[in-house]
Amino acid sequence: MDITHLKPEQVWKHFYALTQIPRPSEKEEKIRAFLADFGKKLGLETIVDPVGNVIISKPATPGMENRKGIILQAHMDMVPQKNKDTVHDFEKDPIVPRIEGDWLYATGTTLGADNGLGVAAAMAVLEANDLVHGPIEALFTTEEETGMTGARELQPGVLKGDILLNMDSEDEGELYVGCAGGEDGSFTLAFDMEQTPAGWEGARLNITGLKGGHSGMDIILGRGNANKVLVRLLHHLMETHQIRLASAEGGDLRNAIPREADAIIAYESAKKAQIEEAVAAMAKVIQDELKFVDPDLKVNLLPTEVPAQIIPDQTARKIVRAVYAAPNGVWAMSDSMPGLVETSSNLAIFKAKEGKAEVHCLLRSMVDTAKTDMGTALACCFANIGAKSSFSGAYPGWQPNMESPILQAMLKTYKEMYGKDAEVKAIHAGLECGILGGHYPHWDMISFGPTIRSPHSPDERCLIPTVQKFWDLLVETLKNAPVKQ
């Protein structure tokens, strides 16, 4: 569907172009080349740094040379998630947008509004010849969704501006001044497999229909985690009917709440009817618990070939118990900002097959010591079964500065434009501001954007009218940038 007729056209035409260019995280060669070519065709200074960030600089318009330089920042990659029945190759196929009322979706996949609309807005500013602004630098970072690589590896001294406008927030009318830090936790255990007893049957336990979502933004909603649902069912069946586990697998991205999971089980043929009844009964219990947040949860027990090998019984029980007990979801709420999650864990990936079990979690917190505490709890949980623990990719949070000059300027501008106050917030997600501020401590930073819902899932959607308000605020903010001292 052509969406270039939407308002503001100067933003939507660039976003549509982005939907046609594959840009999954860590496969960003095409979008990187596209952005670099875009800057060069405009005759603007364009560089691609050693890690793959694209930086495009635009001089101030006449009379605005005395304003503080502004960095427009967005990340070029998108989360590649699709529904199981959707045929889509994120490295080759374009995103197919569709409009439903005031919302823009993709068809069976993530939309890429996170953070494609930020990229598109920066491109519109670079291309425009009718805007008033001081010196502009557009920073398009790489691999944000898989570890914030571009932000981490950005070199000090490359950018000259004083103000960073991060355009990666997801609620119009809200200005973000702080974010959570994060860290990856991985837990692994090796084991031997054994032969499945003769005469047994096999089945596939399948979890589908969960909403999933962004592991920071949506963790407060209490949605079901497919890995947790799966191990709850497995534990029940192990305890009541002595089923055996051949393999289990759920989730594929650390920063997405897992929506689907599968296990291959084996059992004595005589217990088939009892196991089917037990699965149906437990599924009903879990569906009732999640009916308000995940009404489409489905649990199926499907016939399959008998697995040749299974995990030793005591080993499988230990793995399932550890995953069952592992912290997941909201760990603590913020005392300083009511309603904000302070600390959380997303048990994102679970695999147990072919002699190896692994669990991968994404830990988030506004408080570094709380993040460490939660990581220690996870490590202790898995140490009890002899699993190895490792932590990597830690990045700092961004501490709010309520006296920020750009915050005060944007609050004033928003009030003048819309007759109401913008909300000032912090976010339980990993914005790049915390890392970038470490490289450029003098930067005055704000994050804002249009309204986006369910990022990192195929339900991702953008509220179309808010893109115009986001663009108008950006234009007025550039026009009213503070004067250099």
Q: Which residues are catalytic?
A: 77, 144
Per-residue DSSP letter, 394: E
Apex CA 305: angle with CA 302 and CA 308, to 5°?
A: 130
CA distance 425 to 447: 10
At position 280, the amino acid (one-letter code) is A
CA distance 95 to 107: 8
Token pair for 163: 């103000």
Query: Crossing angle, helix 29-41 and helix 113-127, to 10 degrees?
Result: 20
Sheet with 70-75: strands ordered across: 45-48, 54-58, 136-141, 70-75, 163-166, 444-447, 174-179, 423-427
Token pair for 281: 């009964």
Parallel, antiparallel or unpaired: strands 136-141 and 45-48:
unpaired
**Phi/psi-derived region of residue 262, left when phi > 0, alpha when psi is between -120 and 50, beta in every other case:** beta
CA distance 479 to 127: 16
CA distance 433 to 325: 33
In sequence order, the β-bridge partners of residue 66 are none
Token pair for 461: 């959607």
CA distance 242 to 265: 10
Closest Cα partner for 58 from 134, 116, 120, 130?
134
